[in-house]
Amino acid sequence: GQNIDQPTEMTATEGAIVQINCTYQTSGFNGLFWYQQHAGEAPTFLSYNVLDGLEEKGRFSSFLSRSKGYSYLLLKELQMKDSASYLCAAYYGQNFVFGPGTRLSVLP
Protein backbone atom coordinates (compact mmCIF):
# COMPACT_ATOMS: atom_id res chain seq x y z
CA GLY A 1 0.00 0.00 0.00
CA GLN A 2 0.92 3.66 -0.11
CA ASN A 3 1.14 4.66 3.53
CA ILE A 4 1.50 8.24 4.66
CA ASP A 5 2.89 8.82 8.14
CA GLN A 6 2.64 11.97 10.20
CA PRO A 7 2.44 12.59 13.96
CA THR A 8 -1.11 12.52 15.25
CA GLU A 9 -0.75 15.34 17.76
CA MET A 10 1.62 18.23 18.44
CA THR A 11 1.60 21.09 20.89
CA ALA A 12 3.43 24.40 20.59
CA THR A 13 3.45 27.84 22.15
CA GLU A 14 2.13 31.03 20.61
CA GLY A 15 4.93 32.85 18.78
CA ALA A 16 7.05 29.73 18.39
CA ILE A 17 8.00 27.69 15.31
CA VAL A 18 6.70 24.18 14.70
CA GLN A 19 7.64 21.61 12.07
CA ILE A 20 5.18 18.89 11.08
CA ASN A 21 6.82 15.97 9.30
CA CYS A 22 5.31 13.64 6.74
CA THR A 23 6.78 10.55 5.12
CA TYR A 24 5.42 8.74 2.11
CA GLN A 25 6.29 5.96 -0.30
CA THR A 26 8.21 7.20 -3.32
CA SER A 27 7.12 4.69 -5.97
CA GLY A 28 4.84 6.43 -8.47
CA PHE A 29 4.92 9.68 -6.51
CA ASN A 30 4.01 12.91 -8.31
CA GLY A 31 3.55 15.58 -5.65
CA LEU A 32 2.78 16.37 -2.01
CA PHE A 33 -0.11 18.45 -0.68
CA TRP A 34 -0.60 20.11 2.69
CA TYR A 35 -4.02 21.19 3.94
CA GLN A 36 -5.26 22.93 7.09
CA GLN A 37 -8.58 21.92 8.60
CA HIS A 38 -10.26 23.61 11.53
CA ALA A 39 -12.75 21.54 13.47
CA GLY A 40 -16.10 21.33 11.73
CA GLU A 41 -14.88 23.07 8.59
CA ALA A 42 -13.79 22.01 5.12
CA PRO A 43 -10.03 21.76 4.48
CA THR A 44 -8.09 24.71 3.15
CA PHE A 45 -5.28 24.18 0.67
CA LEU A 46 -1.89 25.33 1.98
CA SER A 47 0.73 24.10 -0.48
CA TYR A 48 1.64 21.65 -3.20
CA ASN A 49 5.25 20.61 -3.77
CA VAL A 50 6.37 18.81 -6.90
CA LEU A 51 10.07 19.68 -6.91
CA ASP A 52 12.67 19.28 -4.18
CA GLY A 53 13.26 22.21 -1.89
CA LEU A 54 11.58 24.72 0.32
CA GLU A 55 8.66 26.88 -0.74
CA GLU A 56 7.72 29.79 1.48
CA LYS A 57 4.31 31.42 1.69
CA GLY A 58 4.25 33.97 4.45
CA ARG A 59 4.36 32.29 7.85
CA PHE A 60 4.01 28.83 6.27
CA SER A 61 6.70 26.96 4.37
CA SER A 62 6.70 23.48 2.88
CA PHE A 63 9.71 21.31 2.09
CA LEU A 64 10.02 18.25 -0.11
CA SER A 65 12.72 15.66 -0.63
CA ARG A 66 11.61 13.28 -3.37
CA SER A 67 14.55 10.91 -2.92
CA LYS A 68 13.87 10.51 0.80
CA GLY A 69 10.08 10.39 0.60
CA TYR A 70 9.91 13.19 3.13
CA SER A 71 8.13 16.49 3.51
CA TYR A 72 7.56 18.95 6.28
CA LEU A 73 5.31 21.92 6.93
CA LEU A 74 6.93 24.72 8.88
CA LEU A 75 4.76 27.21 10.73
CA LYS A 76 6.44 30.34 12.07
CA GLU A 77 5.24 32.95 14.56
CA LEU A 78 2.46 30.67 15.69
CA GLN A 79 -0.90 32.20 16.41
CA MET A 80 -3.81 30.77 18.35
CA LYS A 81 -5.81 30.54 15.12
CA ASP A 82 -3.22 28.05 13.80
CA SER A 83 -4.70 25.43 16.13
CA ALA A 84 -6.10 22.96 13.61
CA SER A 85 -5.43 19.64 11.94
CA TYR A 86 -2.79 19.60 9.22
CA LEU A 87 -3.23 16.99 6.53
CA CYS A 88 -0.45 15.65 4.35
CA ALA A 89 -1.46 13.97 1.07
CA ALA A 90 0.62 12.37 -1.66
CA TYR A 91 -0.48 12.31 -5.28
CA TYR A 92 0.19 9.13 -7.22
CA GLY A 93 -1.00 9.17 -10.82
CA GLN A 94 -4.79 9.25 -10.49
CA ASN A 95 -4.86 8.61 -6.77
CA PHE A 96 -4.42 10.75 -3.68
CA VAL A 97 -3.41 9.18 -0.39
CA PHE A 98 -3.96 11.12 2.82
CA GLY A 99 -2.16 10.82 6.11
CA PRO A 100 -4.14 10.66 9.36
CA GLY A 101 -3.62 14.36 10.01
CA THR A 102 -1.66 16.13 12.75
CA ARG A 103 -3.73 17.92 15.34
CA LEU A 104 -1.78 21.02 16.39
CA SER A 105 -2.65 22.79 19.59
CA VAL A 106 -1.21 26.28 20.06
CA LEU A 107 -1.03 27.30 23.70
CA PRO A 108 -0.80 30.87 25.03
Residues that bind other proteins (CB under 8 A): 30-31, 33, 35, 42-45, 48-50, 87, 89, 91, 93-101
Nearer of residues 40 and 108 to other proteins, judged by Cβ? 40
Residue number with CB closer to other proteins (30 or 79): 30
Q: Shortest gap between Cβ of 45 and other proteins (angstroms)? A: 4
Which pairing describes strands 53-57 and 18-23: parallel, antiparallel, or unpaired? Answer: unpaired
CB of 35 to other proteins, least distance (A): 8
- Quote the CA–CA distance of 14 and 84 in Å, as a whole number: 13
Question: Using an 8 Å Cβ cutoff, are 2 and 26 in contact?
Answer: no
Q: 95: how many CB neighbours lie within 10 A of its CB?
A: 10
Taking the complex as a whole, the smallest distance from the CB of residue 64 to other proteins amounts, in Å, to 11
Query: Which is nearer to other proteins, 8 or 13 (by Cβ)?
Result: 8
Rg of the chain over Cα atoms, rounded to whole angstroms, equals 13
